[in-house]
Structure 1
């Protein structure tokens, strides 16, 4: 099924998001050295993009922002990207996505204009889900991962969206029981940027030896 068919049931706005996000994915694949980055990206059973053999990647798209990352899939490495508007979450949503340990961690972080930490936590967990999803058949929830931030460190060029704004690094580790099927989920490192009313984060694993 080609991309136009995949998006036929969506409203025009969502279809435009879908199409331009796939364009970003092809650009990312070309930069990563894929031999045929122009072919259609099909979708898996959970709606995830199916990357060409030998490559891994991730896509994010919304009304305001589209981006993709891709890299050679060396020894099990995975990627995830997500972008969200930099607006605070409702308290009920925060309570649903964050553990007590994470809430204490967020409370200890410095206040930064334009960076609602709870929303960044949500965004990181979305990116982690995209990275981990191909590795396990078990359902993943917001409580499946524990996130910690290291603010004020320049993440360099690895986060789409240019330079500037508030930046930093992060770690994301599995929380709770190990998956019943598939390999153990890897600890992920990542980077984030808050700028121009957006929060963008990228997570990645270290390839196994």
Structure 2
């Protein structure tokens, strides 16, 4: 029995993930090249992201930055997030370019909550995938810049956080929760996020100077 909203969200999350994950994996293994079944797999991934973000919102309410942070290399986050994106949405490798030609990323370590930092990166990258044609990521000592060409922006907006909830290029309607989670995480971790939009091109800049070791 659930006595409050937090318990209810946890129950929905566990029940939903336990039900949807095996179905998605069966679809991927059995019907990898079937367009209709892969669309089903995509829809399930969107549902799982919604469940995970709901759970993160509960986690954020009780988050204690001092007791729940660790030191880890930045490349570790990108590796796990990129793997999740590829596996969950079967993203074509040509869609994403990570510019780390000088090899700086392997020498950058940050001190923060890895679970939340990974979620922040993942949500921004999933958003770029669902609503864009391509994605390029540039990394420097204290900045991560995610660039992509949006499909059908419509009206003019000055920030990615002003975008209305809309249908993505796969015909699936967004919830708006992913970007709300990004803002909440950034506030909790002391990370500054800005964005700029020029015609159909958008750049999201993550300033992580505050958490660099």
State the TM-score, normalized to the length of structure 2: 0.29
Q: Which has the higher strand share?
A: 1
